[in-house]
Amino acid sequence: MKLFLSLLPASKLLLRSQLPVIYQRVQSLSAMAPGAQFFRQLFDRESCTYTYLLADNDTKEGVLIDPVIEHADRDANLLQDLGLKLKYVLNTHVHADHITGTGKLKKLVPGCKSILSKASTGKADILVEDGDKIKFGNQELVVAHTPGHTAGCVCYIDYQTNSVYTGDTLLIRGCGRTDFQGGSAANLYESVWSKILSLPEHTTVYPAHDYKGQTCSTVGEEKKLNPRLTKEKEQFIEIMDNLNLSYPKKIKESVPANLECGLFNLPEHLVFDK
């Protein structure tokens, strides 16, 4: 690889900085290669939310993780453009900062089913618990119950691609706040160390948000570099108890709507025909 890079003109050497991103998802380059998984990371600028589209290249069945209501049309159009069949719409938790696109996607893509954790106390077509498996084509996500940011948080682990979709439980060099919706700093610490940072170090961490422009991390990186989670538990709890953050702007409209997977309790400007 070093020899190859040294033969490139200087302008092309810029590619070197992109190599880790390229390697972490080689299957994306082979777009629809048989047997591989299709992967796309989508973004909402306002809430800095990442939505993930995963699909099985053989059967074309796909899932969306943590869609945002304002982008439901974008997501449905992308599925159609790529010839993918949306089987499930998954949420990692009842979000407080944006309304999920799940309800609107159910209208736009008839037949897809919503998924939320049983512990969230919300309503969905399928309520999952720790260890449950979500299958689409030859792909599989395993549910890991990770309470802490909220009481009902789950992560979705993909052992085939060595990836974990962490929601707000583990962020890149951070973690979700723990001061409302049944949050608990002690529980979050236990969840992260027992369910996420116990995965192989090369596992890619895909969070629900990033506010600094980063796209993903790895278990190995976060074990060494996460400024909160590398602390002892007592110190972590003290940090989390003293964040003194103001509440998210949209919490009052987001939580009631998200407990219904974005089908009901919507603010006037986001109501769509169900």
Contact residues toward Fe ion (CB under 5 A) are 95, 168
Six-digit token pair at 106? 């159910």
Cβ 176 to Fe ion shortest distance, Å: 5
Other beta carbons within 10 angstroms of residue 271's beta carbon come to 10
Q: Which is nearer to Fe ion, 57 or 226 (CB)?
A: 226
Cβ 153 to Fe ion shortest distance, Å: 8
Cβ 116 to Fe ion shortest distance, Å: 13
Q: Which residue has its beta carbon closest to Fe ion?
A: 168
State which amino acid sits at residue 67.
P
Q: Which is nearer to Fe ion, 75 or 168 (CB)?
A: 168
Q: Which is nearer to Fe ion, 137 or 176 (CB)?
A: 176
Asked if 72 and 133 touch (Cβ cutoff 8 Å), the reply is no
Q: Which is nearer to Fe ion, 95 or 195 (CB)?
A: 95
β-bridge partners, 115: 90, 126
Cβ 109 to Fe ion shortest distance, Å: 24
Q: Tokens 């089908």 label which residue?
A: 263
Give 71's Cβ-side CA count (13 Å radius). Answer: 23
β-bridge partners, 113: 88
Q: Which is nearer to Fe ion, 61 or 168 (CB)?
A: 168
Asked if 146 and 154 touch (Cβ cutoff 8 Å), the reply is yes
Cβ 85 to Fe ion shortest distance, Å: 28
Q: 90-129: b or e for each residue (b if 16 or more CB lie within 10 Å)?
A: bbbbbbbbbbbbbbbbbebbeebebbbbbbbebebeebbe
